Structure 1
Amino acid sequence: MLITNATVVTCDADQRVIPVGAVYYEEDRIVAVGSMAELEAAYPAVERLDAHGKLVMPGMICAHTHFYGAFARGMAIPGPAPANFMQVLAQLWWKLDRALTLEDCQYSALVGLVDAIRHGTTTLIDHHASPSAIDGSLDALADAVTASGLRVALCYEVTDRNGPEGSVAGLAENVRFLRRLRERPDPKLGAALGLHASFTLDEETLTRCAEAAHELEACVHIHLGEDPADQADSLARCGKRVAARLDDYGLLGPKTLAAHAIHVDQGELELLQATGTMLSHQPRSNMNNAVGTAAIEQMLAMGLTVGLGNDGFTNNMFTEIHAAYLLHRASSGDPRTLPGDRLLNMAVATNARIASRFFPQAVGVLAPGAAADLILLDYYPYTPLTSGNYPWQIVFGLDGSQVTHTICGGQMLMRDREILTLDEIAIAAHAQHLAPAIWDRVASL
Structure 2
Amino acid sequence: MLLIGNGRLVTRDENNLFFENGCVCVEKELIKEVGETSALKAKYPDAEFIDAKGGVIMPGLINAHNHIYSAFARGLSIKGHNPKNFMDILDGLWWTLDRKLTVEDTKYSAYATYLDCIKNGVTTVFDHHASYGEIDGSLFAISDAAAEYGVRTCLCYEVSDRDGEEKMKQAVLENEAFIQAALKDENDMQYGMMGMHAAFTLSNKTLEFSREHTPKGTGFHIHVAEGISDVYDSLEKYGKRIVNRLFDMDILGPQTIAGHCIHINEHEMDILKHTDTMVVHNPESNMGNAVGCPAVLTLFQKGILIGLGTDGYTNDMLESYKVANILHKHNTCNPNVAWGEIPVMLFQNNATIANRYFKKPLGVLKAGAAADVIVTDYNPLTPMTADNINGHTLFGMNGRSVVTTVCNGKVLMKNRELLNIDEAAVMAKCREQAKALADRINFGR
Match of 1:183, SS state, is: coil
Q: Which residue of 2 aligns with 1:135?
A: 136
Unaligned runs of 5+ residues in structure 2 are: none
Letter in 2 for 1:25: V
Q: Among the aligned pairs, what percent are the same residue?
A: 42
CA distance in 1, matches of 2:232, 2:187: 41
Equivalent pair of 1:58/1:365 in contact (CA under 8 Å): yes
Equivalent pair of 1:147/1:421 in contact (CA under 8 Å): no
Match of 1:425, SS state, is: helix
CA distance in 2, matches of 1:299, 1:236: 26
Matched, 1:270 2:270: yes
Match of 2:306, SS state, is: strand
CA distance in 1, matches of 2:134, 2:187: 24
Q: Which residue of 2 aligns with 1:177?
A: 178
Going from structure 1 to structure 2, the CA distance change for 1:7 and 1:184 (only over 3 Å counts) comes to closer
Structure 1 residue 184, shift from structure 2 partner: 4.1
Match of 1:7, SS state, is: strand
CA distance in 2, matches of 1:37, 1:184: 37
Letter in 1 for 2:274: A
Equivalent pair of 1:2/1:24 in contact (CA under 8 Å): yes
Divergent runs of 4+, >3 A:
183-186
Matched, 1:322 2:322: yes
Letter in 1 for 2:22: G
Matched, 1:438 2:437: yes
Q: Which residue of 2 aligns with 1:212?
A: 213
CA distance in 1, matches of 2:289, 2:78: 14
CA distance in 1, matches of 2:443, 2:243: 36
Matched, 1:200 2:190: no
Letter in 2 for 1:131: Y
CA distance in 1, matches of 2:267, 2:420: 47
* 1:415-426 aligned within 5 A: 415-426=414-425
Cα shift readout 1:95-123 (whole Å, capped 9, x = no counterpart): 10011000000011111111101111111
Equivalent pair of 1:219/1:357 in contact (CA under 8 Å): no
Q: Which residue of 1 aligns with 2:89?
A: 88
Match of 1:56, SS state, is: strand
Structure 1 residue 434, shift from structure 2 partner: 1.3
Size of the aligned set, in residue pairs, is 443
Match of 2:269, SS state, is: helix
Letter in 2 for 1:359: F
Matched, 1:245 2:245: yes
* 1:37-436 aligned within 5 A: 37-213=38-214, 215-339=215-339, 341-436=340-435
CA distance in 2, matches of 1:357, 1:157: 20
Normalized against structure 1, the TM-score is what? 0.97
Structure 1 residue 173, shift from structure 2 partner: 0.4
Structure 1 residue 15, shift from structure 2 partner: 6.2
Normalized against structure 2, the TM-score is what? 0.97
Match of 2:253, SS state, is: coil
CA distance in 1, matches of 2:196, 2:246: 11
Equivalent pair of 1:5/1:21 in contact (CA under 8 Å): yes
RMSD after superposition: 1.2
Structure 1 residue 271, shift from structure 2 partner: 0.6
Structure 1 residue 5, shift from structure 2 partner: 1.2
CA distance in 2, matches of 1:153, 1:70: 18
Letter in 2 for 1:279: V
Structure 1 residue 400, shift from structure 2 partner: 1.2
CA distance in 1, matches of 2:394, 2:184: 42
CA distance in 2, matches of 1:3, 1:108: 31
Letter in 2 for 1:375: I
